[in-house]
Amino acid sequence: MPFGPPDVDKLQAAGDIEGLIKALAWSQSQVRRSAIQALARMGAPAARALCDALREPDGLVREAATEALSMIGPAAEEPLIAILEDPDPAMRKAAIAALVKVGGSSTVVALGGVPDSGSELPKDPFRVLGTVWDPDESVRIAATEAMGQLGDGRAVGTLCSMLDDSSRAVRTAAALAVVAVYRGGKIDEGHRLLILAQRSTITAPHQDHGHTDDTYYQSVVGGSSDCGRHTDYEAMESGIGVDFPV
Choose the final residue of a domain: 76, 101, 126: 101
Say whether both 32 and 120 belong to one domain: no
pLDDT at 4: 83
* Band of pLDDT at residue 246, cut at 50, 70 and 90: confident
Say whether both 97 and 110 belong to one domain: no
Say whether both 147 and 232 belong to one domain: yes
pLDDT at 230: 45
Say whether both 176 and 230 belong to one domain: yes
Domain residues for 171?
105-246
CATH number of the domain where residue 73 is located: 1.25.10
Average the pLDDT over each of 89-93, 169-173, 201-205, 226-230 and give the range with the smallest value.
226-230
Nearest-angstrom CA–CA distance, 23 and 6: 7
Say whether both 48 and 160 belong to one domain: no
Residue-wise pLDDT tens digits, 140-151: 999 999 999 999
pLDDT at 37: 93
Nearest-angstrom CA–CA distance, 126 and 22: 41
Choose the final residue of a domain: 101, 134, 162: 101
Say whether both 244 and 152 belong to one domain: yes
pLDDT at 243: 93
Q: How many domains does the chain have?
A: 2
Do residues 235 and 165 lie in contact, with contact meaning Cβ atoms separated by under 8 Å? Answer: yes
Hey, how many other C-beta atoms are within 10 angstroms of the C-beta on 71?
A: 17
* Band of pLDDT at residue 80, cut at 50, 70 and 90: very high
Residue 221 has pLDDT above 60, yes or no: no
Choose the final residue of a domain: 101, 120, 140: 101
Element (H, E) at 47: helix 44-53
Say whether both 112 and 224 belong to one domain: yes
* DSSP state at residue 167: B
Say whether both 124 and 200 belong to one domain: yes
**What average pLDDT does the segment 121-136 reach?**
62
Say whether both 96 and 117 belong to one domain: no
Average the pLDDT over each of 13-22, 29-38, 67-76, 211-220 and give the range with the smallest value.
211-220
The mean of the pLDDT values for the chain is 82
Residue-wise pLDDT tens digits, 153-188: 999 999 999 999 999 999 999 999 999 999 998 899
**What average pLDDT does the segment 9-15 reach?**
95
pLDDT at 125: 39
Say whether both 133 and 188 belong to one domain: yes
Say whether both 66 and 1 belong to one domain: yes
* Band of pLDDT at residue 215, cut at 50, 70 and 90: low
pLDDT at 232: 43
Do residues 92 and 84 lie in contact, with contact meaning Cβ atoms separated by under 8 Å? Answer: yes
Say whether both 3 and 86 belong to one domain: yes
